[in-house]
Structure 1
Amino acid sequence: MIRCSHVAATLFALLVVAISIGQADEPLSLAQLRADREAATQRERRIIFNNDGNEPVYLCRDTTPDELLRHRTSPLVNTHVDTIFYCTWSSGFGMFTHDTKVGNVFKTKEGLFSKNSIEKMLDAGTDPLQVMADFGKKNDIEIFWSFRMNDTHDAGLSGYGPIMLRANPLKLEHPEWLIGTPKNRPKFGGWSAVDFTRPEIRDLAVAYVEEVCQNYDINGIELDFFRHPVFFKRAAQSGTPCNDEERSLMTEMIRRIRKITEVEGQKRGKPILLSVRVPDSVSYCRDCGLDIEQWLQDDLIDLMTVSGYYRLSPWEDSVKLGNKYNVPVYPSLDESRVRDPDAKKMRMTVEAYRGRALAARSAGMAGLNLFNSFDPNAPIWKELGEPATLARQDHDYFASIRGVGAAAGGALPHRSYQKIATLNPKAAVSVASNKPATVSFYNGVEYQKLDSVAPPKITLSLQFDKEAPKNVDVALNGKTLKSSPAADGWLECTVDPGMLKLNENQVTVSLGDKDAAAKWTDLRCTVRWNQDK
């Protein structure tokens, strides 16, 4: 049966939810709340563990809190994880795995979701978000509720897509709130994305956040705009960037959410922080409808995580933006998007994660945010949070971890906004005798300044399609390196530690033979403290 007004039902539900969790005897003054919020904003977050919260859907064998926690959370105690961003499904818009009266609980047990135990868990009194909040208090770990602003996993026309859509009353009852249909798909983005031009959608997004703030004693809210970054029907269908009116609608929604966090924070006597996850380019965000610099300027957000399945800018650009407004910035270190199997395998090692962490922290990042890394027993959780220790461990750098990258479900094309290398076997760089090529990679350690018995062995390796060209010159930051061929089209160059600059290092490849040409397919810089490795 179709409800006459989802928004009316939402407003009614908000009237009957609990007013607050742990209300203070005397509400905080707004001035004191904002002072406390600033202090909370600047606390140390070595690693943020981003959990997409699907344990109840796929993994849990019973309904107990311990069962929920054992899969991804309990082993994080005594690691470098200071904060957990916990997403209660929100895939797609309006579907959750916490006890919501405003949205809908993702209860389906159809197909891939046959083991979904969330309905039984909630009936047994095990609310995943409450369990996480309790865990955080017990172990002095921040808990943020992560809300995917426009997840479109339900846009697929086969597999789990149709199942997820059938489980979503909001999208079934209000197809006019979506940016397309299966037969009339937009130029950019998944057709099942909701249209934030609609006031009903913006009202619901605000209501979802308000309900969580009122009912759960959490430290903050994350608005995840990277899952997935298409928000307005007109722009998605026309293929043109968003306009000022669309950006203004989104900014006003953020302003309302900020107001809610302040009102509820005053009631409970402690701040509720507001974090966003967005692409790492101000201009690209604006064209997607996200005026992030306006949000920062108007003090609407406290933390910012940048990047995702594609990366557009050097980390320093985002750090500079955050520093301008005294907002800590964290890199989203998603898994590799490189499609070549061997190249991807190299980029998913512990050594590669160490190099990524070092490069990000040396660029000024406040800490790290790891997305789609769910093994709580992996060594990275006990290593990546201390750069000084990482510097003396083996690590690898690459010109590009994610390659060209792509947003699941599609998004506004981003290639023209990319200011960093995308070098990998599926995005080769052409080199010719009259056309040298330069690619940058980013180093996170001044090795010559380390107090050590012996310097590390540093090897710069370049891969070419089929075989390494003959009579090739390799220069690092303008200084020629001696190279020797290795297997599978690789060239290897030994690098003196003092040749590496902190942050950006430029590698130039030139061909000496007339009319010579080659495809440069990869770059890897290895740092090994054990000389036998």
Structure 2
Amino acid sequence: MKHHPSVAGAVMLCGLTAVAIALGATAAAEGNAEAGPAPLWKAQWQLQKPTAGVDTGPDGGKTVADMQKERQRARWRTRRIIFTNDGDDSWRPETKEEFLNLRTAPLVGSHVDTMFYATTQSLGNHSHNSRAAELSAAPGTMAHRFIEQGTDNLEVMVEFCHENDIEVFWSLRMNDTHDYSNETMRPRWKSEHPEYLIGTPEKKPRCYTWTSADFAQPWVRTKVFRIVRDVCERYDVDGIELDFFRHLCYFKTPSYGGVATDEEIAAMTDLVRRIRTMADEEGARRGRPILIAMRMPDSLEYARALGLDLQTWLEEDLLDILVVGGYMQLNPWEYSVGLGKKYGVPVYPSLDESRHKGDAMKRRMTLEAYRARAAEAWEAGMSGIYVFNVFNPLNPLWNELGDPEKLRGLSKSYFVNYRTVHHAKQYLAGGEQYVGIPVLDPVSPMVLEPGTSTATRINVGDDGSTLPLTARVILRLEVAEAVPGLTVRVNAHALEAGAFDGGWMEYTVPASALVRGGNDIAVSLGADAAGTVTVSDLQLCVECEE
């Protein structure tokens, strides 16, 4: 099968490291969570003094109730693709034009309808000109030059997106801990107030990231609230994203092996309510709504065990957009689509880079694999596609993934699963019990003894009625050597004998045997087989003439 170059070349797992410099003093007392202004900020701060959120806006006299109604409409805007930018385009460029060309300007006219722009290096350490956090931009970086010019990276991004009819959200990584392995990204408050952290270098939690902020501390929640409020007051964003997946370590109880207590769950819900109320009040003041998106684990039970009561947040209309998945996928996409229908919110799958190792990762990082994941998500009823950690604006996927009809005529590589279940266990003791999807990969292979059968399921966005007549479908099983006694059925359709090629048994699948959605794959090993057979991966290739 002909493959396009791997998308992995466009994925930056850690981004470009910024040299963190503390330009503000962190207050120690509870309730004083804002970092003090540094000299470089003063001129802009004085020109942009915020007005506190009020019930009515100055122009239309709009109320909070108006905002609640208007965001019900705004949340359903078409978003074929949401492009997530981690903000690391703010370091090396020398000019505004270079900054925009690096990741953003080439997207104009593509399927990207919405930009989520993150400025978080770690919680409280940001590259935009925040009044409530420390500045992570060293002198000589583009982010620093923007501030010297009286603007910043977030303001430039908002202006560009609006000029080009692209919706733009500011993304807050709710407890980003890249500073765990890179001290230059660590804000001063974490060193000055270790009592506000989940752990210490000597006493690390299960998730290892001891630098995680402890959201049971009122000081931490106030800090987060003020960072978010500052953006809502001073930037013309269409919405904000609360990215809970960065990182899933919020309270000590689950971090050290338990499940979140009622008090911990209530503390986070209180913060989310405060942010929702503030965003609606600020929307009324400016005359248009501020939407709230959240990136969450795709399991209500798993999220709650971590202290994130997504079900209550949905019931109380605290979010407008739900993005599911990230380090892991726990349920079929239909599970989350069902939640969206029940509570009236659009749902988007987070298509993150694969965290498998070696060739298993490379196979899942091709353009064909991203096409397959998008086709599967569209078939499940998703409202659009959210792509995480892919930054090359010239990648063909930006002009393909947002159109399910276009995808039908393109080659794809489907897998049983695209991420491992490792992170489900890393962030929550016993987290594997929440995995509700089949898994087949080198970490969790299929093992057959002579005379036995086993089965799995693979989700597909194609069938015989949608594929071009010239399309070929090949099912591939990764094995150590040729296995003549192996028989395979797809949806009870027996396949002809396979051929061994380069570590794979390959079987031709009639397009008519496929169904859109879940496809059952049954594998049997003859009783006279020489020994145990291990299938370490399964790939369904749809080959189209392009």
When normalised by structure 1's length, the TM-score is: 0.91
Q: Which residue identity is paired with 2:90?
A: P
1:4 is displaced (CA, Å) by 4.1
Q: What is the rounded CA distance, in whole Å, between the counterparts of 2:160 and 2:438 in structure 1?
A: 40
- Secondary structure at the residue paired with 1:447? coil
Q: Which residue identity is paired with 1:315?
A: W
**Hey, what does 1:104 align to over in structure 2?**
134
Q: CA, structure 1 residues 179+527, in 2 after alignment: closer, same or farther (shift >3 Å)?
A: same
1:436 pairs with one of 438, 443, 453? 453
Q: What is the rounded CA distance, in whole Å, between the counterparts of 1:36 and 1:3 in structure 2?
A: 37
1:505 is displaced (CA, Å) by 0.7
1:234 is displaced (CA, Å) by 2.9
**Hey, what does 1:517 align to over in structure 2?**
532
2:291 pairs with one of 263, 273, 278? 273
Q: Would you say the 8 A contact 1:179–1:191 is kept in 2?
A: yes
**Hey, what does 1:53 align to over in structure 2?**
87
Q: What is the rounded CA distance, in whole Å, between the counterparts of 2:430 and 2:129 in structure 1?
A: 37
Q: Would you say the 8 A contact 2:473–2:510 is kept in 1?
A: yes
Q: Would you say the 8 A contact 1:190–1:409 is kept in 2?
A: no
Q: What is the rounded CA distance, in whole Å, between the counterparts of 2:519 and 2:126 in structure 1?
A: 45
**Hey, what does 2:315 align to over in structure 1?**
297
- Whether 1:321 and 2:339 are equivalent positions in the alignment is yes
- Secondary structure at the residue paired with 1:33? helix
**Hey, what does 1:120 align to over in structure 2?**
145
**Hey, what does 2:167 align to over in structure 1?**
142
- Whether 1:186 and 2:205 are equivalent positions in the alignment is yes
Q: What is the rounded CA distance, in whole Å, between the counterparts of 2:130 and 2:213 in structure 1?
A: 19
- Whether 1:207 and 2:189 are equivalent positions in the alignment is no
Q: What is the rounded CA distance, in whole Å, between the counterparts of 1:441 and 1:365 in structure 2?
A: 18
Q: What is the rounded CA distance, in whole Å, between the counterparts of 1:488 and 1:437 in structure 2?
A: 23
**Hey, what does 1:503 align to over in structure 2?**
517
Q: What is the rounded CA distance, in whole Å, between the counterparts of 2:368 and 2:473 in structure 1?
A: 13
CA RMSD of aligned residues (A): 2.4
- Secondary structure at the residue paired with 1:438? strand
Q: Would you say the 8 A contact 1:433–1:514 is kept in 2?
A: yes
**Hey, what does 1:528 align to over in structure 2?**
543
**Hey, what does 2:3 align to over in structure 1?**
none
Q: Would you say the 8 A contact 1:336–1:347 is kept in 2?
A: yes
1:484 pairs with one of 490, 494, 498? 498
Q: What is the rounded CA distance, in whole Å, between the counterparts of 1:221 and 1:95 in structure 2?
A: 17
- Whether 1:29 and 2:63 are equivalent positions in the alignment is yes
- Whether 1:263 and 2:254 are equivalent positions in the alignment is no
**Hey, what does 2:34 align to over in structure 1?**
10
- Secondary structure at the residue paired with 1:213? helix
1:445 is displaced (CA, Å) by 2.3
Q: Point out the more displaced range, 253-262 or 505-514.
A: 505-514
The 5 A counterparts of 1:160-179 are: 161-165=182-186, 168-179=187-198
- Whether 1:82 and 2:99 are equivalent positions in the alignment is no
Q: Which residue identity is paired with 1:216?
A: Y
Residue by residue, what CA displacement relative to the aligned partner does 1:156-184 show, whole Å, maximum 9, x if unpaired?
Answer: 2xxxx22223xx11111111000111111
What stretches of structure 2 of length at least 5 have no aligned partner? Answer: 1-24, 38-44
Q: What is the rounded CA distance, in whole Å, between the counterparts of 2:451 and 2:264 in structure 1?
A: 47
- Secondary structure at the residue paired with 1:442? strand
1:459 pairs with one of 471, 474, 477? 474
Q: Which residue identity is paired with 2:65?
A: A
- Whether 1:333 and 2:363 are equivalent positions in the alignment is no
Q: Which residue identity is paired with 1:439?
A: T
Q: What is the rounded CA distance, in whole Å, between the counterparts of 1:262 and 1:2 in structure 2?
A: 28
Q: Would you say the 8 A contact 1:447–1:455 is kept in 2?
A: no
The 5 A counterparts of 1:281-430 are: 281-339=299-357, 341-406=358-423, 412=429, 414-430=431-447
1:11 is displaced (CA, Å) by 9.3
Q: CA, structure 1 residues 413+286, in 2 after alignment: closer, same or farther (shift >3 Å)?
A: same
Q: Would you say the 8 A contact 1:228–1:408 is kept in 2?
A: no
1:417 is displaced (CA, Å) by 1.5
Q: What is the rounded CA distance, in whole Å, between the counterparts of 1:187 and 1:528 in structure 2?
A: 43
Q: Would you say the 8 A contact 2:28–2:193 is kept in 1?
A: no
- Whether 1:216 and 2:250 are equivalent positions in the alignment is no
Q: What is the rounded CA distance, in whole Å, between the counterparts of 1:408 and 1:135 in structure 2?
A: 41
Q: Which residue identity is paired with 1:123?
A: E
Q: What is the rounded CA distance, in whole Å, between the counterparts of 2:141 and 2:464 in structure 1?
A: 50
- Whether 1:19 and 2:41 are equivalent positions in the alignment is no
**Hey, what does 1:112 align to over in structure 2?**
none
Residue by residue, what CA displacement relative to the aligned partner does 1:392-435 show, whole Å, maximum 9, x if unpaired?
Answer: 11112111212334389855553221122332223312111354
What stretches of structure 1 of length at least 5 have no aligned partner? Answer: 110-114
Q: What is the rounded CA distance, in whole Å, between the counterparts of 1:473 and 1:288 in structure 2?
A: 43
Q: CA, structure 1 residues 519+183, in 2 after alignment: closer, same or farther (shift >3 Å)?
A: same
Q: What is the rounded CA distance, in whole Å, between the counterparts of 2:429 and 2:151 in structure 1?
A: 39
Q: What is the rounded CA distance, in whole Å, between the counterparts of 1:28 and 1:66 in structure 2?
A: 37
Q: Point out the more displaced range, 180-189 or 261-270.
A: 180-189
Residue by residue, what CA displacement relative to the aligned partner does 1:47-85 show, whole Å, maximum 9, x if unpaired?
Answer: 00000001123x32x2x3322211100111000000000
Q: CA, structure 1 residues 395+426, in 2 after alignment: closer, same or farther (shift >3 Å)?
A: same
Give the total of aligned pairs.
511
Residue by residue, what CA displacement relative to the aligned partner does 1:122-157 show, whole Å, maximum 9, x if unpaired?
Answer: 11224011011101110110100000011111112x
Q: What is the rounded CA distance, in whole Å, between the counterparts of 2:137 and 2:486 in structure 1?
A: 60
- What fraction of aligned residue pairs are identical, expressed as a percent? 39
1:364 is displaced (CA, Å) by 0.5
Q: What is the rounded CA distance, in whole Å, between the counterparts of 1:151 and 1:467 in structure 2?
A: 44
**Hey, what does 2:20 align to over in structure 1?**
none
Q: Would you say the 8 A contact 2:260–2:304 is kept in 1?
A: yes
Q: What is the rounded CA distance, in whole Å, between the counterparts of 1:502 and 1:3 in structure 2?
A: 56
**Hey, what does 2:9 align to over in structure 1?**
none
Q: What is the rounded CA distance, in whole Å, between the counterparts of 2:58 and 2:164 in structure 1?
A: 22
